[in-house]
Structures are given as structure tokens and as C-alpha cells.
Amino acid sequence: MNLLSISHLSAKFMALTLALFGITAHASVVINNTRIIYPQNDKEVTVRLESKNEAPVLIQAWLDSGDEHSTPEATAIPFIATPPIFRMEPGKQQVVRLAYTGADLPSTQESLFWFNLLEVPAQSQDAQQSNQLQLAFRSRIKLFFRPPNLPYDVEAAPAKLQWRRVSTEQGQALEVYNPSPYHVTFDQIELLDAKQRHAREASVSGAENMVVPGGRNLFSLPSLKSPHSRATTVEFQTLDDFGVAILHSAKVSP
């Protein structure tokens, strides 16, 4: 969760914060999703929120195409979040509706967007009078826009992945190629040999633990020292549409 200065908010949103009152609260508006799946044929999808705060908070919701520094004013994507700005009372729930506006997106593979939630805690009268800096708390989760008539279901995508061992300047690594039309997100990756399980440490490419449709990613294996290892099996966990980790295994090309 990122901390953003309230100066990043729109003027309208900043003005609305003045209506809040009470004691400043920690960010604790919970998004009841770990990811959002948007089937193209659906009119809208909903995101449910729950406030764990002990005071009112003001919320702004929007989507972006991958720039974590984006603001609602600078983002032009084919989705509308309703309501875009709203107040949440302590312990209450709220539904945000996301609607696709119909702009052209690829019809042969998923598209990735991000749902943003910016939370401004209430501020005490003392804090207002002392001109203390008010911070906003930002959360982001992925939205996968899924066109109809893809050649197979998303559950089949992990079995389509192609793995091979490669040598890089940083050492040994696993390269994964994704020929499927779906994004595949990893939880754990381990290369197996007769004596040891070599866990992936990080993505060599700097990308997160995901491989995009038609894309490749590299994961470093710091415990694998020899390029001549006979390890030929990879065990990996992927996250399904509900964020549940599913275990798979596959052969690795040398």
C-alpha cells in the first residue's frame, strides 16, 4: 500500500475532505477481492469494500493501465468506476461498480488493468489547526478483462507454459514462456533435482511474478550453482481467479 500526499488528489476531492470530522484513522478499508475478472459480455462487475476504521473516511476509486503513479485526471481507459468519490462510515460496506465503455481491446487475449482505491482518513480539529500534512493510502489490485470465445478455459493456461533453464549474468535462472491468451500469476516456483529444491528468488527482468499472454519472464535460482544440473522438473503454484494457489508440475528443457 503506497502513501500519497493529499496534494495528489483532485481539487474537488480535496474540498470534499473538509466535510470529514473525528479522529485520524489508519488505512483499513478492505477490498474483498484479490483480483477482478471482467468478462467482456458482462454489463458491469462489482467490487465490495468494507471499512474497518473507527472514523469516517473519504474514498476515491479509478482504474489505470499499469502506471502506479497515475491519477484519475491523467488516466484515459475504457472503464468507469461508480461512484468515483464517496464517504464511508465506520464499519460500513460499499459497492463500487465497474463498467466497460466499449472501446477497442484485443479480442484474442486478456487485457490487464489496475483498480485503484485512495483512502483519506478523517482529521482531528487539532490537526487541521496545526496544518499537519494529511496522507492518503492507496491500494491497487489487478483487473483482467477477458474477451469471449478464447480457445480454452483459464484453468488450462498453466499446463501450456513452457520452461527452460538459462544462464544469465546473475547466475542460473528459469525462463517461462506463456503461449496462452491468459495472464498467469505465480505464487511459488521451485526447480527440483535429486538432492535439493531450488526456489526462485525474484524475476530477473524486474517484472512482477506474472507472465503475460505471449510473453516470457525470467526467475533467478540463487541456490543452483551449476549450469550442468540434471534438474528437469519444475513445481509451481499459480493463482486462480479467486486468488487461490494451485500446484502444478512441468518438465524443464535444459
Angle, CA 216 vertex, CA 230 and CA 147 arms, to 5°? 130
Number of domains in the chain: 2
* Strand partners for 177: 162, 216
For the chain, 254 residues long, give each residue's pLDDT as a single digit of tens: 444 444 445 545 544 443 443 334 445 899 999 999 999 999 999 999 999 988 899 999 999 999 888 888 877 899 999 999 999 999 999 999 999 999 899 999 999 999 999 998 876 555 555 555 566 788 999 999 999 999 999 999 999 999 999 988 888 889 999 999 999 999 999 998 866 787 776 555 545 799 999 999 999 888 877 766 777 899 999 999 999 999 999 999 97
* CA atoms of 211 and 177, how far apart (whole Å): 8
Segments of the chain assigned E as strands: 2-5, 29-31, 35-39, 45-51, 57-64, 79-82, 85-88, 93-100, 111-121, 135-146, 162-168, 171-177, 184-192, 197-199, 210-211, 216-220, 233-239, 245-253
* CA atoms of 144 and 40, how far apart (whole Å): 10
pTM: 0.83
Q: 56 and 129 share a domain?
A: yes
Distance set, CA 149 to CA 69, 106, 156, 178 (Å): 34, 12, 14, 19
Last residue of a domain, one of 94, 127, 146: 146
Taking phi first (over 0 means left), then psi (-120 to 50 degrees means alpha), and beta for anything else, what does residue 140 get? beta
Task: Name residue, grid cell 491500494.
Answer: 139
Last residue of a domain, one of 146, 169, 191: 146
What's the CATH code of the domain at 192? 2.60.40.10
* CA atoms of 125 and 102, how far apart (whole Å): 45
Residue 207: give the domain boundaries. Answer: 154-253
* CA atoms of 162 and 15, how far apart (whole Å): 52
Task: Name residue, grid cell 488450462.
Answer: 156
User: CB 247: neighbour CB atoms within 10 A?
Assistant: 11
Q: 178 and 67 share a domain?
A: no
